[in-house]
Chain A
Amino acid sequence: MADDELAELLERVRSLEEQVREQRDIEAIKQLKADYCRAFDLRDWERWGSLLTDDIYLESDAGVLEGREAVLAMMSAVDASVVHNTHSPVIELTGPDTARGTWSNEDWVRLDLGGERLAFHGCGHYAEDYVRTGDGWKVKRSVETRLRVDPIEGSAPLPAPPD
Chain B
Amino acid sequence: MSADPMQELHDIEAIKQLKARYVRCADTQDWEGFAKLLTEDYLFDSEGGVVQGRDHVVAMVSKSLQGASTVHHVFAPEIAFTDADTAEAIWPMEDYVRMSHNGQVFAFHGCGHYWETYVRTDDGWRLRTCKLTRLRVDPIDGSSFPQAG
Quick one: given A24-B5, A31-B78, A108-B111, are A85 and B94 in contact (CB under 8 Å)? yes
| Contact-residue bracket for chain B | 20 to 34
Q: Are B90 and A81 in contact (CB under 8 A)?
A: no
Contacts of B55-85 to chain A: CB distance below 8 A: 73, 75-79
Quick check: which of A7-15, A32-40, A62-70, A132-140 contacts chain B, the rest being far away? A32-40
Find chain A residues with CB under 8 A from B126 CB.
none
Q: How far is the CB of A132 from chain B (nearest CB, A)?
A: 13
Judge whether B3 is part of the interface by a CB distance below 8 angstroms. no
Find chain A residues with CB under 8 A from B94 CB.
83, 85
Judge whether A30 is part of the interface by a CB distance below 8 angstroms. yes
Judge whether B148 is part of the interface by a CB distance below 8 angstroms. no
Find chain B residues with CB under 8 A from A112 CB.
none
The one of A23, A87, A108 in contact with B76, judged by C-beta atoms closer than 8 angstroms, is A87
Scoring B12, B111, B113 by chain A CB atoms within 10 A of each residue's CB, the highest score goes to B111
Closest to A32 in B: B78
How far apart are the CA atoms of A42 and B9 in the complex, in Å?
A: 28
Quick one: given A83-B136, A89-B76, A108-B111, are A34 and B92 in contact (CB under 8 Å)? yes
Q: How far is the CB of B39 from chain A (nearest CB, A)?
A: 24
Q: Are B78 and A34 in contact (CB under 8 A)?
A: yes
Number of CB contacts from chain A to chain B under 8 A: 59
Closest to B77 in A: A34
Find chain A residues with CB under 8 A from B78 CB.
31, 34-35, 38
Judge whether A20 is part of the interface by a CB distance below 8 angstroms. yes
Find chain A residues with CB under 8 A from B77 CB.
31, 34
Closest to A30 in B: B76
Find chain A residues with CB under 8 A from B113 CB.
38
Quick one: given A81-B135, A83-B136, A85-B94, are A33 and B9 in contact (CB under 8 Å)? no
How far apart are the CA atoms of A117 and B9 in the complex, in Å?
A: 44
Q: Are B9 and A85 in contact (CB under 8 A)?
A: no
List chain A positions with a Cβ less than 8 A from chain B: 20-21, 23-24, 27, 30-31, 33-35, 37-38, 41-42, 81-87, 89, 103, 108, 110, 152
List chain B positions with a Cβ less than 8 A from chain A: 1, 5-6, 8-9, 12, 73, 75-79, 90, 92, 94, 111, 113, 135-136, 138
A-B pairs with beta carbons under 8 Å apart, 23 shown = A20-B9, A21-B1, A24-B5, A30-B76, A34-B90, A34-B92, A37-B76, A41-B92, A41-B135, A81-B135, A81-B136, A83-B92, A83-B111, A83-B135, A85-B73, A85-B92, A85-B94, A85-B111, A86-B92, A87-B75, A89-B76, A108-B136, A110-B136
Interface contacts beyond A21-B5, A87-B76: sample of 9 additional A-B pairs, CB < 8 Å, sorted by A: A20-B9, A30-B76, A37-B92, A38-B78, A83-B92, A83-B136, A84-B92, A89-B76, A108-B136
